[in-house]
Amino acid sequence: MLEIHQFPCLSDNYGYLIHDPASGETACIDTPDGAEYLRQAAAKGWHITQIWNTHWHPDHAGGNAVIKAATGCLVVGPAEVEKLGTAPDRVIGHGDVVMLGDWDAAVIDVGGHTLGHIAYHVPDAEVAFVGDSIFALGCGRMFEGTADQFWTSLSRIKVLPAATLLYCAHEYTASNARFALYADPGNAALADYAAQITSLRDQGRPTVPTPLARELATNPFLRADDPALAARWGGGDAVATFAALRAAKDTF
């Protein structure tokens, strides 16, 4: 079993520690808050051996230095993390494989939110750590990339096994759901899912992780190639539909 420990960090990030009992290895998925990661690892009795960054933003790599100083762990991530001052110990990109014990994670280029954003897919555990590329019912803001690049990135997520659980980095689902219902009003699966989200959030429970199968049916940004959605959003191809949706969400 790959153990995944999820905890809230900063205002609306999720922290993830993943642990392989066989080897004793533990990896931080991003580092929004170094001190909180160290506390959470200590409480689990886990020793952090690696950091896997998804992109350079401070709420994803800002805790690297504190955690590395305390543990001597290996920092793995895209080259762009150097923008925060220190390059990763191991710079990785699309097609690379990183290991936690015997678990392998495939590195997928999901640029668009930032140019160098990557995701980690652990096929044997049926999980993917997707940072700010895709969220439950949403996707990251397009700060650095183009619509074409972002749609290519989402297309790489769409073809993962449908049972894959997507561990996204923020609890944005309730606000994403409001936009999704506006973007895709005729979607019955979306209406059901949005009602579940309201109920979970009313109870203070997380809506993350989310199974890819459900996102494929409900997330408007993953459905930019759906003919009905495209017709509603300008009648262009998937890239044009994605661009229209992303622009509309920015000001929703």
Residue numbers 101-160 binding Fe ion by CB under 5 A: 132
Closest distance of CB 105 from Zn ion, Å: 20
Look at strands 97-100 and 103-109 and give their pairing: antiparallel
Q: Which contiguous run of DSSP H or E holds residue 26?
A: strand 25-29
Residues 6+ apart with CB under 8 A from 4: 16, 17, 18, 19, 125, 127, 167
Residue placing its CB nearer to Zn ion in the complex, 57 or 246: 57
In the chain, % helix, strand, coil (3-state, to 5) comes to 40, 25, 40
Whether the CB-CB separation of 92 and 118 falls below 8 Å is answered with yes
Which of 33, 132, 171, 184 is in the footprint of Zn ion by CB under 5 A?
132
Interacting stretch for Zn ion, rule CB under 5 A, among 51-59, 61-69, 156-164, 202-210? 51-59
Strands in 182-234 per DSSP E: 210-211
Site string (78-117) toward Zn ion, x via CB under 5 A? ----------------------------------------
Closest distance of CB 3 from Zn ion, Å: 25
Which of 59, 171, 184, 226 is in the footprint of Fe ion by CB under 5 A?
59
From the list 132, 129, 127, the residue with the least C-alpha distance to 114 is 132
Interacting stretch for Zn ion, rule CB under 5 A, among 50-58, 67-75, 189-197, 224-232? 50-58
Binding site for Fe ion (CB under 5 A): 59, 132
